[in-house]
């Protein structure tokens, strides 16, 4: 009798499919209540930091350079109060084989798949991660399938996503391009089941452990170069893996006093799963459409428990606007001679504003860059926006309304980093934990877990739980 491949049947087999495709039994990390053993799950990769560094070195990943952005620092100081204007640095992850830090994220997964006899790897991604997986698979001789959410129902694809598909295909991967909606995860699960390939998910412990080398390396480079750790590291935040892995690496290097700030493009009001709104944004990642949902419920990912848990490590969360990121992309190219793609420039726009709050002798680091290519350049992005009815304006970024206009700053002094209320985000996460565990009797251990998972304390957790019960 043939297996039922209907949507409901495949989704009902989700956990079994994932277990076979990742090789991790997520059940053994679970408890009866809300908590699960996150640290045990991370250890279960079976690879030490040193081993992962060695794995990455074999395929030319890591040891990426750090540049001091002296001209951009000087520009920031023109608008900073007297004595303010921290030194701005950038870690050039575009130097990795596939052109982004996600090569680190892919390396451990693809290596582990090869080691354990999988014939191929599959990843569901519209971003740089697909190119990273495809690149690593090519190096290790594995088949690769990338599933992309690319088009709206009219068949219009965003230039940045189309560019990334081209790059995946250049590495020999098969790319399945889908319209926006629930078919992405369904198709992904079907392929995993049919092929028996490894799930090279962004959100497994293998992927996050791969990013730890970035944070560790960054700390060691600054100690060698400056004789100390940086004061602030800014990470572009979407699904949380970039920030999580970098922060964990900093901690493993003993750089526990470094402030870790997440930065996302403000796309408030746009729904990422909306067919009509899908092409009314100019950023496919690093925006609040991923950053907020994944912060408030990380386990919405394509594995039972996500290893990317940004709230565990985030000290501050800021947003910048689309026009500000485009402006800083131009500034990086024209002032520093570095032409890079939009994701890293999200955190650069934030760092430009944040540096103006800090003393001149402080150091702020943008922890990643990404490659740029045909669809990632400013002009195709803005042209696509115009074609979709978005107005392009030069003015005050405060007037930007996502989905309606993009406001390029008339002056760099108008670039701002806008704080999000972390306690509000923490409350939403706790609310989601309770909603997803309606019958759980909350224990002391659950409260301790929630405190760790939100970088707060037991008293805060208790107060939020009481508040939610009263409402």
pLDDT digits (tens, 9 = 90+) for 7-50: 888 888 887 888 889 888 888 999 888 999 999 999 999 999 99
- C-alpha to C-alpha distances, 34 to 37, 182, 295, 436, 463, nearest whole angstrom: 10, 27, 16, 9, 17
Q: How far is CA 172 from the centre of its chain?
A: 24
Query: Largest Cα–Cα distance in the chain?
Result: 76
Write down the mean pLDDT value for the chain: 94
Of the candidates 93, 101, 106, the one whose C-alpha atom is nearest the C-alpha of residue 136 is 106
Contact 33, 196 (CB under 8 A): no
The model's pLDDT over 237-295, given as tens digits with 9 standing for 90+, comes to 999 999 999 999 999 999 999 999 999 999 998 887 788 888 888 888 889 999 999 99
What's the CA gap between 443 and 121, in Å, rounded? 39
Contact 204, 307 (CB under 8 A): yes
What's the mean pLDDT in 151-172?
90
Considering only 54-68, 173-187, 311-325, 393-407, which range has the smallest mean pLDDT?
173-187
Q: What is the pLDDT of residue 25?
A: 87
Considering only 263-277, 307-321, 395-409, 416-430, which range has the smallest mean pLDDT?
263-277
**DSSP element (H, E) containing 90:** strand 87-91
The model's pLDDT over 415-453, given as tens digits with 9 standing for 90+, comes to 999 999 999 999 999 999 999 998 888 999 999 999 999
The model's pLDDT over 200-217, given as tens digits with 9 standing for 90+, comes to 998 999 999 999 999 999
pLDDT beyond 90 at 155: no
Of the candidates 378, 375, 364, 467, the one whose C-alpha atom is nearest the C-alpha of residue 424 is 467
What's the CA gap between 299 and 292, in Å, rounded? 13
What's the mean pLDDT in 76-83?
98
What's the CA gap between 217 and 249, in Å, rounded? 8
Q: What is the pLDDT of residue 423?
A: 98
The model's pLDDT over 12-21, given as tens digits with 9 standing for 90+, comes to 888 788 888 9
Please report, rounded to a whole number, the percentage of residues in the chain having pLDDT higher than 90.
77
Burial of 187 (0-12, 13-18, 19+ CB in 10 A): middle
What's the CA gap between 365 and 64, in Å, rounded? 14
CA angle 59, 252, 450 (to 5 degrees): 115
- C-alpha to C-alpha distances, 101 to 84, 105, 132, 292, 460, nearest whole angstrom: 30, 7, 9, 21, 35
Reduced to 3 states (helix: H, G, I; strand: E, B; else coil), residue 253 is coil
- C-alpha to C-alpha distances, 185 to 124, 153, 207, nearest whole angstrom: 8, 17, 19
What's the CA gap between 409 and 374, in Å, rounded? 24
CA angle 338, 343, 346 (to 5 degrees): 90
Strands (E), 95-206: 120-124, 143-151, 174-179, 198-199
Q: What is the pLDDT of residue 1?
A: 54
How many other CB atoms sit within 10 Å of the CB of residue 389? 11
Q: What is the pLDDT of residue 451?
A: 98
pTM, two decimal places: 0.96
Backbone angles phi, psi at 363, to 5 degrees: -125, 130
- C-alpha to C-alpha distances, 449 to 150, 287, 332, 454, nearest whole angstrom: 37, 27, 41, 9
pLDDT beyond 80 at 224: yes
Confidence of residue 94 (pLDDT cuts 50, 70, 90): very high
Q: What is the pLDDT of residue 91?
A: 98
How many residues are given for the chain?
471
Reduced to 3 states (helix: H, G, I; strand: E, B; else coil), residue 260 is strand
Q: What is the pLDDT of residue 149?
A: 86
Strand ranges across the sheet with 418-419: 66-68, 87-91, 363-366, 232-236, 259-265, 316-320, 418-419
Confidence of residue 220 (pLDDT cuts 50, 70, 90): very high
């Amino acid at each position: 009798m043939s297996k039922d491949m209907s949507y409901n049947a495949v989704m009902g087999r989700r956990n079994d499919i994932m277990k076979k495709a990742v090789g991790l039994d997520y059940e053994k990390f679970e408890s009866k209540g809300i908590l699960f053993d996150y640290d045990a799950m991370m250890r279960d990769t079976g690879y030490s930091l040193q081993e992962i560094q060695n794995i990455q070195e074999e395929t030319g990943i890591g040891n990426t350079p750090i540049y001091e952005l002296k001209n951009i620092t000087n520009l920031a100081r023109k608008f900073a109060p007297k004595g303010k204007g921290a030194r701005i640095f950038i870690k050039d992850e575009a130097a990795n084989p596939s052109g982004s830090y996600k090569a680190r994220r892919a390396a451990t997964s693809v290596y582990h798949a090869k080691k354990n006899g999988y014939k191929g790897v599959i990843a569901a991604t519209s971003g740089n991660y697909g190119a990273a997986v495809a690149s690593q698979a090519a190096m290790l001789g594995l088949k690769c399938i990338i599933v992309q959410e690319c088009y709206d129902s009219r068949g219009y694809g965003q230039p940045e996503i189309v560019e990334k598909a081209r790059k995946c295909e250049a590495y020999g991967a098969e790319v399945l391009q889908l319209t926006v909606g629930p078919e992405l995860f369904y198709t992904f699960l079907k392929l995993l089941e049919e092929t028996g390939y490894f799930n090279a998910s962004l959100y497994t412990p293998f992927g996050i452990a791969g990013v730890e080398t970035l944070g560790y390396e960054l700390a060691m480079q600054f100690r060698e170069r400056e004789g100390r750790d940086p004061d602030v590291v800014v990470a572009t935040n979407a699904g949380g893996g970039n920030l999580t892995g970098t922060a964990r690496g900093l901690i493993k290097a003993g750089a526990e006093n470094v402030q870790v700030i997440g930065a996302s493009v403000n796309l408030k009001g746009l729904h990422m799963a909306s067919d009509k709104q899908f092409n009314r944004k100019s950023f496919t990642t690093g925006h609040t459409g991923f950053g907020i949902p994944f912060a408030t419920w990380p386990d919405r990912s394509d594995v039972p428990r996500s290893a990317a848990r940004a709230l565990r490590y985030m000290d501050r969360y800021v947003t910048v606007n689309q026009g500000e990121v485009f402006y800083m992309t131009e500034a990086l190219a024209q002032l520093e001679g570095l032409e890079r793609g939009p994701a890293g420039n999200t955190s650069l726009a934030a760092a430009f504003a944040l540096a103006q709050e800090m003393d001149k002798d402080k150091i702020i680091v943008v922890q990643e860059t990404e490659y740029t290519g045909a669809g990632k350049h400013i002009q195709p992005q803005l042209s696509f926006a115009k074609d979709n009815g978005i107005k392009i304006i030069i003015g005050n970024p405060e007037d930007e309304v996502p989905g309606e206009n993009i406001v390029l700053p008339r002056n760099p002094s108008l670039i701002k980093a806008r704080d999000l209320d972390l306690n509000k985000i923490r409350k939403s996460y706790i609310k989601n934990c309770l909603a997803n565990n309606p019958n759980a009797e909350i224990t002391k251990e659950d409260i301790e877990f929630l405190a760790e998972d939100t970088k707060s304390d037991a008293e805060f957790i208790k107060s939020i739980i009481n508040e939610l019960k009263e409402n």
